[in-house]
Structure 1
Amino acid sequence: MTTRRKFIKTAGIGAVGAAAGTTLAAPAIAQSKIKWRLQTYAGPALAEHVIKPAVDSFNKIAGDEMEIELYTSDQLVPTGELFRAMQNGTIDAVQSDDDSMASPTEVTVFGGYFPFACRYSLDVPVLFNQYGLNEIWAEEYAKVGVKHISAGSWDPCHFATKDPINSLEDLKGKRIFTFPTAGRFLSQFGVVPVVLPWEDIEVALQTGELDGVAWSGITEDYTVGWADVTNYFLTNNISGAWIGHFFANMDRWNEVPEHLQELLKITFDSSHYYRQYWYWGGEANLRVNGTKMQLTSIPDAEWQQVEDAAVKFWDEIAAESEVKAKVVEIFRKYNADMAKAGRPYRYT
């Protein structure tokens, strides 16, 4: 017979054993925090507006699950090597245009400022979200192991120069820092495209290595300090909006849980929205109230030569491949629709 003492003793051992079993069982492994390194094309002053608010917002919401470490232009790798570094996993994500990061895709030539493809900043999200460019970019980048997350618009492309530009003749021989495709297009008007690290531009303007830049609108000229070392701003532009993107290494993207992928998209979209009004308002405000640069203009009739040359340039690009021809056709269709729509979409 089991005595009370034996029962209590046995029960006690069992209880201790059960407790020990609970205590000694392997604890659930806590998921380690995901960390991404993202490099932007922008220098520190510009990054404060074009990317940092979105990264700060993402990190705040993601909390202990994920963190983006932000690096500015050329901080980890030179801008021209951004694509390769992302593709091979040296960095996880990039904010840039296709053109300046030298991505090996059929759509690279359209990144940054493709001449006269866009007249206004709203053209960019409409082209990507309603006219089919998102699907083309996604497919082209998937081929090379990169996730195209989203596209957005930046500022228009104007000349900021040390000497005044009042005619096309004044462009001849000017050493200009600009994007590869923009430089290829502008060279027919005598512009000498110059490639330098972004952080070296201000000094190059001071030393005379550069005569000007065709990289941005007036908001950026003031923000990054170029308005302090140039004297004139040409109101004519070759594009109404820069086309830029967020990209990620495909493997790293696929490792991120779906809810964090969605959060990345939303916060990057908030960056696109912020830039939309920051640039749009800044361009007008600084033309009217800015004190550092004198505005100059090339007469519309003369500038028409540049617009006519852009049409031929589009034909030249379209002849290079089927994908490029498809993108050019979308630009043609979109601009034709806007012209038919009339004011305020296009002034005809």
Structure 2
Amino acid sequence: MKRRQFIKTAGIGAAGVAIAAPAIAQSAPEIKWRLTSSFPKSLDTLYGTAETFAKAVAEATDNKFQIQCFAAGEVVPALQALDAVQNNTVECCHTALYYFWGKDPTFAFGTTVPFGMNARQQDAWFYHGGGNDLINEFLKDYNAVAFPGGNTGTQMGGWFRKEIKSPKDLDGLKMRVGGFAGAVLTKLGVVPQLIAAGDIYPALEKGTIDAAEWVGPYDDEKLGFNKVAPYYYFPGWWEGSAALHFLFNQQKLAELPKTYQSVVRTAAAMANKDMQAKYDAVNPAALKRLVAAGAQLKPFTQDTMEACYKAANEVYTETSAKNEKFKKMHDAYMAFRNDQYLWWQVAEYNYDNFMIRARARG
């Protein structure tokens, strides 16, 4: 190619790039959103997951799409996060869907239900078993769209001011417990209380409640429950896992450019796995510290577990009989859970069981 012809062609190419630039700019607009969390900043794993998500969105869009995070109470109280998204007070939130089970018990399946799946199984259901599609079908009535946004893994059974030696010891107990578990424990005489994280310690200290469950060693240590209730029970059968979600106002999410919608989904998926990984990393050391400080680690007795399992199945049957949405979600969830544990008993359980015993032998 001759020199003059090359310069002329290059000039046309450069002009073409200049013409295309406005179209590129239009596909990557500057957007500022607000996110309200249902958690205080002191719980760095829970609240921090929202910050992880927002940072990933900003980095993937060259800081053109920025999401400002607010702790519980800064915009709305912890348990009003869904309402804030629904009425567009904020564009999105980070919360546990079972906080809203009072609106409809079907919400519980978005987080966890008693004797449900573990964290890996639940992610499989969300991403490949149609679970999150069912969640979003249900959420249409609340003007919201949800993406999985973290998991605590199997939780602890909580802190008790007295020992639980049998199911009878649960009768009359005032306990802070979240979600659908309260309905199950009511059958055993427990008086459930849904209290936000920051209010649990003073309630336990003053004796307003007799027991409280939150998440696990890392968060429980931060909240100081071991100082006011000595008995630390396991496992948290009502939370074999506990999933959080990022909720988005339906219209606001739909208005985003397709590339930004993809960024949001990808950032949420990354934050979802990051939370579980962090809890798995920090819980062992926290448990050691709690026990060293005097916490009395105890398992729920077999008869207590069996009584709770029986009560849970009774509640599922009763609720399914009067709530079609709940029944649809329950049937899909439990079918997936049962197949998962068929597989788990072959490989995962046997491997873990061997390794636990091997560790004990040193």
Change (3 A) 1:244 1:316: farther
Counterpart for residue 134 of structure 2 = 136
Q: Choose 1 or 2 for highest CA Rg.
A: 1
Partner residue, 1:146? 144
Count matched residues: 320
Could you tell which deviates more after superposition, 152-161 or 237-246? Answer: 152-161
1:199/1:279 Cα in 2 relative to 1: closer, same or farther (>3 Å)?
A: same
Report SS of the residue matched to 2:35: strand
Hey, what's the Cα distance between the residues in 2 that align with 1:180 and 1:338?
23
SS at match of 2:319: helix
Question: Does the 8 Å contact 1:105/1:141 carry over to 2?
Answer: no
> For the structure 1 residues 194 and 143, does the alpha-carbon distance in structure 2 shift closer, same or farther, using more than 3 Å as the test?
closer
Compared CA separation, residues 61 and 224, structure 1 to 2 (3 A): farther
Partner of 2:333: 331
Which structure carries more helix by proportion?
2
Paired residues of 1:219 and 1:286 also in contact (CA < 8 A):
yes
User: Per-residue displacement from partner, 1:172-192 (whole Å, max 9, x unpaired)?
Assistant: 222211214211111112221
Deviation at 1:301, TM superposition (A): 3.9
Whole-Å separation in 1 of the counterparts to 2:186 and 2:104 = 23
**Aligned residue in 2 for 1:83:** 82
Task: State, as a whole percentage, how many aligned pairs show the same letter.
Answer: 21
Q: How far did residue 152 of structure 1 move?
A: 4.3
**Structure 1 residue 67 displacement after superposition:** 0.8
> Structure 1 stretches of 5 or more lacking a match?
1-27
CA RMSD, Structure 1 to Structure 2 (Å): 2.6
SS of structure 1 residue aligned to 2:322: coil
Q: Kindly indicate whether the alpha-carbon contact (under 8 Å) linking 1:222 and 1:228 is maintained by their aligned counterparts in 2.
A: no
The match for 1:25 is none
Q: Is the 8 A contact 2:112 2:243 kept in 1?
A: yes
Question: In the TM superposition, what is the alpha-carbon distance from 1:122 to its structure 2 partner?
Answer: 0.8
Question: In structure 2, which of residues 35, 59, 65 is the aligned counterpart of residue 38 of structure 1?
Answer: 35
Within a 5 Å distance, the mapping from 1:227-306 to structure 2 comes to 227-238=226-237, 239-288=239-288, 290=290, 291-292=292-293, 293-306=295-308
Give the corresponding residue for 2:312.
310
For 1:233 and 1:252, the matched residues in 2 are separated by: 43
Task: Please state whether the residue corresponding to 1:244 is helix, strand or coil.
Answer: strand
Deviations 1:273-307 (A, max 9, x none): 11222223444444445334220122224421211
- TM-score w.r.t. the length of structure 1 is 0.82
2:176 corresponds in structure 1 to: 177
The match for 2:217 is 218
Unpaired segments of 5 or more residues in structure 2?
A: 1-21, 354-362
2:322 match: 320
**Other-structure match for 1:60:** 59
Structure 2 Cα separation of the partners of residues 116 and 227 of structure 1: 26
Q: Report if the CA contact (8 A) 1:37-1:68 is conserved.
A: yes
Name the CA distance, whole Å, in 2 between partners of 1:160 and 1:283: 16
Aligned to 1:123: 121
